[in-house]
Amino acid sequence: MFYKCNVGRRFAQICPFMIEGDLVTRLHYNRRLQVCDWPWQAGCASCPIQYPNGTFPPPERINNPSNDCQYLECANGHASGPFNCPPGTCFSRTCQECVRDRTDGNCNVVQPQPCIEGDRRLHDCYCNFYEECTRINGEFHWIQHECFGGIHFSVTEKRCMLPNEAKCPHIKHLL
């Protein structure tokens, strides 16, 4: 997917299918060339390959295919990482940054949320994880914890509860 601008508004566009009759596999958007391209050339899910003239695209970041809260750094066709986004953010390939809301191509780069000792918050990607602000050697850090036994973290109660009581906001994204 990519966005076209018209009179200051963005409109979502979807790249066409790769093969006639295959209604699943689509071309990927190539940000450098600004066209729909073969997936292995576009570099959305893997580092871009070498150009025919022997050079590589400039270094950039891509989403970690197994975790949206992480990114990989590509240079000369090879990935390093994964690197974690700050809590409460996920990586946006469009923005090349970790953002709080990447809906419709938003690039609202955020500063890390202040850590107040004892405060708890829901993990940005998973209902069964939460983070608690903890003092370690005089400094405050967000430490990840897990709710075990199939239970979820409740944003309002700030504790682990049964899923139907916790009402995790991530559930709508998983359907």
CB 38 within 8 A of CB 11: no
Is-contact 11 19, C-beta < 8 A? no
- Each residue's pLDDT, cut to its tens digit, for the chain (175 residues) gives 777 776 667 777 888 888 888 777 888 887 777 888 887 777 666 777 777 888 887 788 888 877 778 888 888 888 888 898 887 788 887 778 888 776 656 676 555 667 889 999 988 778 899 999 998 888 888 888 999 999 999 999 999 999 999 988 866 433 3
130: left (phi over 0), alpha (psi -120 to 50) or beta: beta
- pTM to 2 decimal places: 0.46
Residue type present at position 115: C
**Cβ contacts of residue 114 below 8 Å, gap of 6+?**
none
pLDDT at 108: 66
Question: What does the angle CA 99 – CA 103 – CA 107 come to, to the nearest 5 degrees?
Answer: 40
Q: Give residue limits of the domains in the chain.
A: 2-99, 119-161
What is the distance between the alpha carbons of residues 2 and 29, in angstroms, rounded to a whole number? 7
pLDDT of 105? 61
Question: Backbone phi, then psi, for 20, in 5-degree steps?
Answer: -60, 130
* The predicted structure's pLDDT at residue 104: 58
Cα dihedral: 129, 133, 139, 141 (round 10): 20
Count CB-CB contacts under 10 A for residue 30. 20
